[in-house]
């Protein structure tokens, strides 16, 4: 079995893309991945297997799309599914990011691939459940029992190898994956009655129940020799106890192999005993972004037992020492870029790149397109250093940069409004760094890859729009408690970092109780909160000394009220309205967590400041440009690009190696678990 996972539209090599397209990087440039290189590696592995007298199958564990600029062509060109066909993948499954454009969007992506010369790969999804309403177009493509070959998605699937081995496949959307797929609605996955997706234990138990009948049917009805789960659930060697794919291996009987995805892990082959059958189940995951190919060697014995060759089961790096020599794949990639640069958006005269660069550079224009890739790699800013994003459970320079850009966008003179706070989560940032590469220029495609996710619930256009809404100061503290508590329970994606505010937290304190008093200074781990002084905010000064830059708003050590009417610990009214900008993704999760969004009159003129947003619908709070500038939504990648383009050169405060870039400076851990007692990162 040859496998990858979480390719995330990375058809061009990483490190950065501008160094690999349109001219491929030379060996030693530091580029990883790229579909053409992966094709060469896969072919070499297949040829080696054939020479050894072995069969081979090539599979993916999902999240084939959403992560690079080429994803914009998903519903028209469908480059990700077409590339899987060109690379001779036999089957894939659905990950949470396949649903970023909603069920109807996924149906359109599949339809575009199906209409192409390459076609659409086989897709297996065993624990998917349809509402039959706005997901009807996707449901129409689903064949639950593998009896209709005209449909591309199957509840189970069987492939017979050239030597006659029958391999059965199931596809699993894991508990964490479905919890971070809000755009999948109304489609659901394994959700127990009365439960919500944040109850991971209950959802995982439901996954066991949902997929077991498919495994049993493959064994009983299809008489397969081998059962493989393509599982978008996750496996982490540093936290095996909370790794969903290990739990699936131990609790779903009849599985032989789990090809894991979702956690972006380097997880070499490891065997786990099934608790019901005592059989070994092999679990392996091959990194992310196509930077590795996994190989699993196994033998189906005459007595129907499975023998694993652990020494030959390994992860194979895909690097620039392999020439990207697959002409068909290179043609697909080049054609996709050309479509983004030249093909008009339906109903418009401009291409996506012309339109997007126009929004970013306004009132200037990007100029005429001279060569393929000129718009794709448009130099947004000079980048003299890497902007780091490599650490979990920590503030990073990249998250600081993104939140600063969003806050600047929401305070643009063109909008004529004031916004106090921006926040972003670690899980929404999709690259380990913005890399300076060989050119020292940050191309638009590489910037886009940092924040590529989602789509608009209003317009259907790609990319999460910014939303602007009010919440109480006490709710700001509760949001920071997500970083201080929930993120440390295995949910690092929800490590929130602000701009406009900063906070200290102590993980030796008891976690925040959402059912308790949110104004109680002893409820939770956040011990201090500061807000930018108005003059600093107006000047775009987002960091600096406390005395000149920050106003203290909360201090849990203050047992005596600071003023009459204020609860102890609060130096400002905890019911003061704070004006927030965040992506639709973050705003959606805020509502799922019980936050009640409040209207801001200057962007919701029919409502007064502080009144509830109708239906608590974050889509009602989407931030738009003034009507004179088209009234269009502001996408996160647009705010980031506009902010950096205005800077010209990326400022030193985002350089990890520069004293100005020292972190943490906004999400600061103190106490016994901190790397520095006065303020550092938390060890747990």
Same domain, 410 and 540: yes
CA 97 → CA 17, 93, 105, 266, 292, distances in Å?
A: 21, 11, 11, 20, 20
Whether residue 392 is predicted with pLDDT greater than 90 in this model: the reply is no
Q: pLDDT tens across 426-452, in order?
A: 989 999 999 999 999 999 999 999 999
Same domain, 372 and 462: no
Q: How many whole angstroms separate alpha carbon 293 and alpha carbon 285?
A: 9
Non-local (6+) Cβ contacts of 607 within 8 A are: 599, 601, 613
Q: Which of 441-450, 473-482, 491-500, 535-544 has the lowest mean pLDDT?
A: 491-500
Please, which pLDDT band fits residue 588 given cuts at 50, 70 and 90? very high
Would you state the pLDDT for residue 593? Answer: 81
Same domain, 364 and 303: no
Task: Give the DSSP letter string of 177-201.
Answer: HHHT-GGGTT-B-S--TT--TT-HH
Would you state the pLDDT for residue 491? Answer: 80
Kindly report the CATH number assigned to the domain that includes residue 142.
Answer: 3.60.21.10
Q: Which two tokens stand for residue 24?
A: 């491929």
Same domain, 408 and 270: no
Same domain, 362 and 431: no
Rounded to an integer, the average pLDDT of 224-237 is 98
Task: Supply the mean pLDDT for the chain.
Answer: 96
Neighbours of 624 (CB within 10 A): 17
Same domain, 562 and 657: yes
Rounded to an integer, the average pLDDT of 564-573 is 98
Domain membership flag for residue 287: yes
Would you state the pLDDT for residue 242? Answer: 92
Non-local (6+) Cβ contacts of 293 within 8 A are: 2, 3, 4, 38, 41, 42, 45, 286, 315, 316, 318
Would you state the pLDDT for residue 391? Answer: 86
Dihedral, CA of residue 621, residue 625, residue 626 and residue 628, to nearest 10: -150
Domain membership flag for residue 339: no
Q: How many whole angstroms separate alpha carbon 80 and alpha carbon 67?
A: 11
Q: pLDDT tens across 145-168, in order?
A: 999 999 999 999 999 999 999 999
Q: pLDDT tens across 276-287, in order?
A: 999 999 999 999
Q: pLDDT tens across 124-147, in order?
A: 999 999 999 999 999 999 999 999
Same domain, 559 and 584: yes
Q: Is 99 helix (H, G, I), strand (E, B) or coil?
A: helix
Would you state the pLDDT for residue 488? Answer: 87
CB 15 within 8 A of CB 31: yes
The distance from CA 421 to its chain's CA centroid, rounded to whole angstroms, is 22
Would you state the pLDDT for residue 532? Answer: 99
Domain membership flag for residue 683: no
Kindly report the CATH number assigned to the domain that includes residue 438.
Answer: 3.90.780.10
Q: Is 180 exposed, middle or buried (0-12, 13-18, 19+ CB in 10 A)?
A: buried
Domain membership flag for residue 83: yes
Please count the structural domains in the chain: 3
Structural domain boundaries enclosing 362: 344-376
Rounded to an integer, the average pLDDT of 80-100 is 98
Same domain, 615 and 628: yes
Instruction: Please report where in the chains the tokens 């095996």 appear, as a residue.
Output: 240
CA 50 → CA 1, 87, 225, 307, 591, distances in Å?
A: 12, 17, 20, 19, 54
CB 433 within 8 A of CB 386: yes
Residue 319 pairs in a beta bridge with 32
Q: pLDDT tens across 608-667, in order?
A: 999 999 999 999 999 999 999 899 999 999 999 999 999 999 999 999 999 999 999 999
Neighbours of 139 (CB within 10 A): 17
Q: pLDDT tens across 336-359, in order?
A: 999 999 999 988 999 999 999 999
Would you state the pLDDT for residue 558? Answer: 98
Please, which pLDDT band fits residue 683 given cuts at 50, 70 and 90? confident
* Phi, psi torsion values for 611, nearest 5 degrees: -75, 155
Domain membership flag for residue 680: no
Q: pTM of the full predicted structure?
A: 0.95
Please, which pLDDT band fits residue 393 given cuts at 50, 70 and 90? confident
Instruction: Please report where in the chains the tokens 């007298």 appear, as a residue.
Output: 53
Rounded to an integer, the average pLDDT of 360-364 is 92
Domain membership flag for residue 676: no
Please, which pLDDT band fits residue 599 given cuts at 50, 70 and 90? very high
Same domain, 564 and 662: yes
Same domain, 468 and 525: yes
Same domain, 590 and 663: yes
The distance from CA 349 to its chain's CA centroid, rounded to whole angstroms, is 31
Instruction: Indicate the pairing of strand 292-300 with strand 2-4.
Output: antiparallel
Domain membership flag for residue 439: yes
Please, which pLDDT band fits residue 548 given cuts at 50, 70 and 90? very high
Q: How many whole angstroms separate alpha carbon 530 and alpha carbon 500?
A: 9
Instruction: Indicate the pairing of strand 123-124 with strand 92-93.
Output: parallel
Residues of 262-298 as b/e, b for ≥16 C-beta within 10 angstroms? bbbbbbebbebebeeeebbbbbbbbbbbbbbbbbbbb
Domain membership flag for residue 69: yes
Same domain, 372 and 387: no
Dihedral, CA of residue 483, residue 487, residue 488 and residue 489, to nearest 10: 140
Angle at 147 between CA 142 and CA 150, to 5 degrees: 60
Whether residue 490 is predicted with pLDDT greater than 80 in this model: the reply is no
Packing angle, helices 79-86 and 327-342, rounded to 10: 170
């Amino acid at each position: 079995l040859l496998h990858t996972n979480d390719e995330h539209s990375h058809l061009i090599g990483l490190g950065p893309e501008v160094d690999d397209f349109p001219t491929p990087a030379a060996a030693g440039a530091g580029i990883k991945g790229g579909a053409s290189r992966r094709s060469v590696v896969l072919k070499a592995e297949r040829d080696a297997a054939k020479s050894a007298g072995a069969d081979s199958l090539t599979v993916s564990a999902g999240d084939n799309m959403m992560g690079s600029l080429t994803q914009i062509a998903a519903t028209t060109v469908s480059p990700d599914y077409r590339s899987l066909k060109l690379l001779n993948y036999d089957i894939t499954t659905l990950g949470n990011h396949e649903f970023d454009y909603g069920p109807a969007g996924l149906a359109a992506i599949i339809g575009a691939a199906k209409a192409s010369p390459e076609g659409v790969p086989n897709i297996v999804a065993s624990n998917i459940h349809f509402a039959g309403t706005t997901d009807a177009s996707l449901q129409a493509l689903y064949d639950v029992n593998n009896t209709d070959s005209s449909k591309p998605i199957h509840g189970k699937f069987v492939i017979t190898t050239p030597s006659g081995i029958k391999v059965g496949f199931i596809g699993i959307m894991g508990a964490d994956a479905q919890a971070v797929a809000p755009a999948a609605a109304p489609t659901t996955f394994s959700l127990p009655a009365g439960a919500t997706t944040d109850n991971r234990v209950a959802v995982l138990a439901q996954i066991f129940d949902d997929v077991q009948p498919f495994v049993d049917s493959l064994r009983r009805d299809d008489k397969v020799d081998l059962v493989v789960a393509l599982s978008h659930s996750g496996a982490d060697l540093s936290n095996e106890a909370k790794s969903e794919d290990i739990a699936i291996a131990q609790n779903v009987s009849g599985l032989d192999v789990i090809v894991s995805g979702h956690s972006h892990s380097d997880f070499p082959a490891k065997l786990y005993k099934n608790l019901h059958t005592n059989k070994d189940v092999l679990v392996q995951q091959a990194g992310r972004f196509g930077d590795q190919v996994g190989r699993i060697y196994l033998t189906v014995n005459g007595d129907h037992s499975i023998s694993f060759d652990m020494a030959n089961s390994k992860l194979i790096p895909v690097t620039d020492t392999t020439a990207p020599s697959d002409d068909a794949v290179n043609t697909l990639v080049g054609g996709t870029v050309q479509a983004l640069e030249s093909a008009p958006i339906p109903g418009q005269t401009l291409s996506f790149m012309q339109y997007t660069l126009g929004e970013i550079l306004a009132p200037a224009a990007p100029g005429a397109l001279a060569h393929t890739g000129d718009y794709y790699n448009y130099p947004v800013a000079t980048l003299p250093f890497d902007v780091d994003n490599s650490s979990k459970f920590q503030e990073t320079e990249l998250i600081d940069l993104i939140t600063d850009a969003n806050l600047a966008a929401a305070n643009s003179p063109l909008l004529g409004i004031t916004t106090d706070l921006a926040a972003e989560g670690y899980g929404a940032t999709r690259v380990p760094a913005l890399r300076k590469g060989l050119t020292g220029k940050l191309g638009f495609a590489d910037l886009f890859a940092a924040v590529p996710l989602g789509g608009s619930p209003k317009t259907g256009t790609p990319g999460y729009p910014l939303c602007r809404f009010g919440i109480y100061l006490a709710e700001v503290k509760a949001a920071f408690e997500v970083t201080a508590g929930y993120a440390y329970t295995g949910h690092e994606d929800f490590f929130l970092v602000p701009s406009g505010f900063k906070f200290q937290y102590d993980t030796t304190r008891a976690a925040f109780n959402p059912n308790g008093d949110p104004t109680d200074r002893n409820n939770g781990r956040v011990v201090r909160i500061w807000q930018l002084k108005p003059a600093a905010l107006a000047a775009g000064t987002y960091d600096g000394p406390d005395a000149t830059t920050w106003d203290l708003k909360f201090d849990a050590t203050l047992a005596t009220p600071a003023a009459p009417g204020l609860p102890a610990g609060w130096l400002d009214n905890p019911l003061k309205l704070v004006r927030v900008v965040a992506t639709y993704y973050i705003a959606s999760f805020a509502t799922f967590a019980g936050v009640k969004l409040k209207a801001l009159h200057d962007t919701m003129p029919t409502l007064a400041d502080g009144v509830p947003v109708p239906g608590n619908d974050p889509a009602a709070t989407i931030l738009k440009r003034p009507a004179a500038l088209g009234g269009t939504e502001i996408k996160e990648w647009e705010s980031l690009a506009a902010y950096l383009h205005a800077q010209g050169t990326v400022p030193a405060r985002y350089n990890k190696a520069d004293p100005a870039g020292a972190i943490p400076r906004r999400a600061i851990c103190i106490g016994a678990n901190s790397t520095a007692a006065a303020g550092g990162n938390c060890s747990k």
